[in-house]
């Protein structure tokens, strides 16, 4: 009796293409989910329940609405806000930024940054009413 010889077995090869695909997918995932921008917090003082002892004339009011920007009731172009705030007396008790609904957040943060750079005291952010 003669036994049938089987054909020589070829070694199983592991394909590198699927492995490379997985590595690239992982690389893409980590690149898209990682953050490269440092986030900063915006410090805003909240109103207290006790009445303020400060004279209202010592507080600088900035109103931001759809029509533009006002500092203590006087219209001011946004480009000149830093100069106007630099001219304010340093004994100011703080700055109140009144924002009317509908004003873009980018504009509000830009005004807050300019007011913070002027260093006129604590910042307060309040919601204004349209049409006032």
Q: What is the pLDDT of residues 61-83, one digit of tens each?
A: 889 887 888 888 888 888 888 88
Work out the number of other CB atoms within 10 angstroms of the CB of residue 99: 20
Q: Which domains are present in the chain?
A: 56-127 (3.30.420)
DSSP character string of 47-108: PPSSPP-S-GGGEEEEEEETTEEEETTEEE-GGGHHHHHHTS-TT--EEEEEE-TTS-HHHH
Q: What is the pLDDT of residues 48-64, one digit of tens each?
A: 555 455 445 578 888 98
């Amino acid at each position: 009796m003669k036994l049938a010889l089987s054909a020589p077995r070829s070694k199983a090869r592991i394909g590198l293409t699927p492995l490379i695909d997985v590595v690239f997918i992982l690389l893409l995932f980590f690149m898209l989910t990682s953050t490269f921008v440092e986030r900063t917090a915006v410090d805003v003082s909240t109103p207290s329940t006790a009445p303020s002892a400060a004279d209202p004339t010592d507080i600088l009011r900035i109103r931001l609405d759809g029509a533009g920007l006002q500092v203590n009731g006087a219209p001011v172009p946004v480009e000149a806000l830093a100069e106007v705030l630099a001219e304010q007396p340093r004994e100011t008790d703080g700055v109140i930024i009144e924002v009317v609904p509908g004003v873009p957040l980018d504009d509000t943060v830009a005004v807050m940054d300019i007011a913070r750079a002027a260093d006129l005291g604590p910042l307060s952010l309040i919601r204004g009413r349209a049409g006032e």
